[in-house]
Amino acid sequence: MPQASFTALAHHIDQEWLRVAQQQVRRDGAVGIDGATAEAYEQNLEENLRNLEDRIKSGRYKAPAVKRAYVPKTHNEKRPVGIPTYEDKIAQKAIAMVMEAVYEQDFHDFSYGFRPGKSQHMALNRVWQEIMNMRGAYVIDLDISKYFDTIDHTMLRQEVQKRVRDGVIIRMIGKWLHAGVMENGKLSYPSAGSPQGGVISPLLSNIYLHSVLDSWFVEQVKPRLKGKAAMVRFADDALLMFELQEDMERVMEVLPKRLAKFGLRMNKQKTRVKRFIPPRAANGPKTDTLDFLGFAHYWGRSRKGYWVVKRKTQKERLTRALKKITQWCKTHRHDPLREQQRMLKSKLRGHYSYYGITPNSRSIALFWEEVKRIWLKWLNRRSRTPHLNWDTFNLLLKRYPLERPRIYHSFI
């Protein structure tokens, strides 16, 4: 029952449970502040897991600070992430596995981020279905300003305790929230937020937004609207879709107040209101495009002449991916050709595995052509005298072929 709370869950966390958690933690991830690697920890795995279980259940476990690192976001922006120690990742995974069993019964089906059996492509398909069902929609493309850094610790614990009141689990969550951040040798203790990179952080963020946004939208917003409405959320990226413009405007008016009630703030510069409806006439006003999870959604004609939602790689994502390829080819242009081919094939395969969806064949074909052009350019810079033209390069590609464009996800 969603109304019931669980007071005894920690008994599930035994040595076998921790071993399963350890097997699901990435072994090749960056090391935390203690510098301990997975290989070193696993040299005495059974004793380490036995000791970890004892410290968790007795309350003697001390959550180590996370190591601050930064990953590229967009343009000149970087996203801060926290890197826990290897043992802390195991502890977080073990607690997350227990809590998932509870919260997966509560979460709504339009929430797709970091949940078992759900993916970004499923979220994209849901967006397509909802907009086509409404025959176009007025959309709030919501951006929460620095969401992971502004989660209120007190409110988060209150939301968790509505369903989980086990003392061991609540105590462990409190320790992680107050563990501190190590950056450039200095230790700080943020009063809010859940560090991105922590194994349990995605679950905690989903629990928070489940109350802040998802349940509010289903239980309080939709019953008061005149037309159809739907929401699709992947972590803190959310699209709120409305059949009627007046419904969208009403929700847009109260949305900042709802977020502020939970210590969150809507990013007014990045939150967009979209008129995403099919063109009514050839010379009528242009409809907006809609960006979500790396894809630009737009209206186009089907083979039978009907207006349908189509998708292509976002221009910024395509540019960013090609810049990474350029930098790699520049840095590794003197590597053996076989090694360059192997790595470029891997990078192409990774790009296709995400962007290779049914209506996006043109974009991934463009990416393939650009990667070939970039490779040719930097191969010619291995010496002062360029020796490869397109004819000789195409002969080289027969010996060292690159991964051709492929559709991995069919949405028909």
**Complete DSSP assignment for 27-55:** SSSPP-TT---HHHHHTTHHHHHHHHHHH
Query: What would you measure as the largest C-alpha separation in the chain, in angstroms?
Result: 74
The string of pLDDT tens digits covering residues 357-382 is 988 999 999 999 999 999 999 999 98
Residues 6+ apart with CB under 8 A from 369: none
Distance CA 191, CA 64 (A): 16
Distance CA 177, CA 192 (A): 8
Distance CA 268, CA 143 (A): 8
Exposed, middle or buried, 411 (CB in 10 Å: 0-12/13-18/19+)?
Answer: middle
Give the count of alpha carbons within 13 A of 267, CB side only: 15
Nearest to 355 by CA among 329, 398, 322: 322
Amino acid at 385: T
Q: Backbone phi, then psi, for 265, in 5-degree steps?
A: -135, 135
Q: How many CB atoms lie within 10 A of CB 175?
A: 17
The string of pLDDT tens digits covering residues 67-90 is 988 877 666 677 788 899 999 999
- For residue 1, what pLDDT band results from cuts at 50, 70 and 90? very low
- Cβ(182)–Cβ(33) below 8 Å: yes
Q: Give the mean model confidence (pLDDT) for residues 165-175.
A: 95
Which pLDDT value is given to residue 80? 80
Residue given tokens 């210590």 in the structure block: 263
Between 359 and 91, residue with greater pLDDT: 91
